[in-house]
Amino acid sequence: MEIQWKPNVYENDRGIFAVFPELCKGCGLCIEKCPTDVIHWSKNLAFNGTTTVEPRMEGCIVCGICQTVCPDTAISIYRHDGSNPPAAEPRVTQKTH
């Protein structure tokens, strides 16, 4: 038996968003942290029967935050210019003092 890792791939002129339904558990963290609010629930099912996610690529800035925060490495972001997305910054910074 062969396991195939087939991502759902979305693209714009900045880069590529690839999500692997075999890894996504539908936690919604990427939706919560996307700075441009372009990730939403998909009609595609993930491995455990939950829905997976998809982006509206016209608004995706290929920042890579979704890739960084996903606890199951289900998202890969590729930039067409070859640069690597920087480490994720918190969306909201709260002062504690």
Q: Does 72 bind ligand SF4 (CB under 6 A)?
A: yes
Q: Does 83 bind ligand SF4 (CB under 6 A)?
A: no
Torsions phi, psi for 58 (to 5 deg): -65, -20
User: Tokens at residue 22, please?
Assistant: 């075999």
- HSE, CB side, 13 Å, CA atoms: give it for residue 87: 0
The Cα 48–Cα 68 span in angstroms is 22
Q: Does 21 bind ligand SF4 (CB under 6 A)?
A: no
Q: Does 26 bind ligand SF4 (CB under 6 A)?
A: yes
* For ligand SF4, the closer CB: 36 or 44: 36
Q: Which residues bind ligand SF4 (CB under 6 A)?
A: 17, 19, 24-30, 34, 36, 38-39, 52-53, 55, 60-66, 70, 72, 74-75, 77
